[in-house]
């Protein structure tokens, strides 16, 4: 059964690393639903959050192949079942008429959206939350007239990791 997976790939910060990762997946016929890459607390190390759909076997194969890339330090599959936090970020530009501004502002407050800019003919706001929350917000504000929006795509972090058999925190 196809399931959505977020793979968190920890890599060395080197030129072309994202191209090698996307090339590996495209050569094998996998579609990347979203990708986000950013530096970690160590500027020489990046984390890339990659969302793909596949069977358990396909995801396991992708993980093995990604681990073979020279710049890869670690690949973690967050299964979207347990022990993860997933978020998405969106910036929207909406056409909001004067007659329905108060209703719109109340809706934005309910969703805890932050206003970035308010003009006579439009409003720009940002919202962070689960992909489901983002989808609901888009559905609710659609009637106001969405002029434009951009979504970050999903990114995730494990709440905690259980030590694997043989792992030793002391490095012994």
Cβ 49 vs Cβ 169: under 8 Å: no
Cβ-proximal residues to 155 (8 Å cutoff; 6+ apart), any chain: 6, 36, 49, 86, 87, 88
* CATH classification number, 85-155, choose in 3.30.70.1150, 3.40.1710.10, 3.30.390.50, 3.40.50.300: 3.30.70.1150
User: Is the pTM value of this prediction over 0.85?
Assistant: no
- Plot region of 125 (φ>0 → left; ψ -120 to 50 → alpha; else → beta): beta
Domain boundaries, the chain: 3-81, 85-155
C-alpha separations of 140 from 34, 35, 80, 108 in Å = 23, 26, 25, 10
Cβ-proximal residues to 43 (8 Å cutoff; 6+ apart), any chain: 13
Q: Which helix (H) or strand (E) holds 93?
A: strand 84-94
Q: What fold, for 3-81? A: Alpha-Beta Plaits (3.30.70)
Q: How many residues are recorded in the chain?
A: 172
Q: What is the pLDDT along the chain (172 residues), one digit of tens a residue?
A: 888 888 999 999 999 999 999 999 999 888 898 899 888 899 899 999 998 988 889 889 999 999 999 999 999 888 656 677 888 999 999 998 888 888 999 999 999 999 999 998 899 999 999 999 999 999 999 999 999 999 988 888 777 655 454 444 334 3
| Two domains, one topology: 3-81 and 85-155 | yes
């Amino acid at each position: 059964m196809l399931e959505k997976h977020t793979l968190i790939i920890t890599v060395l910060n080197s030129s072309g690393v994202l191209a090698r990762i996307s090339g590996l997946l495209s050569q094998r016929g996998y579609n990347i639903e979203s990708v986000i890459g950013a530096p970690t607390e160590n500027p020489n190390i990046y984390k890339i959050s990659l969302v793909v759909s596949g069977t358990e076997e396909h995801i396991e194969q992708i993980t093995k192949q990604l681990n073979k890339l020279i710049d890869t330090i670690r690949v973690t599959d967050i299964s979207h079942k347990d022990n993860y936090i997933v978020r998405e970020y969106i910036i929207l530009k909406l056409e909001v008429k004067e007659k329905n501004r108060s209703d719109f502002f109340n809706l934005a407050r309910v969703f805890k959206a932050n206003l970035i800019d308010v003009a006579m003919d439009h409003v720009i706001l940002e919202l962070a939350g689960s992909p489901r929350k983002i989808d609901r917000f888009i559905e609710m504000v659609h009637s106001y007239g969405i002029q434009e929006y951009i979504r970050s795509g999903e990114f995730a972090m494990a709440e905690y990791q259980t030590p694997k058999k043989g792992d030793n925190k002391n490095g012994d």
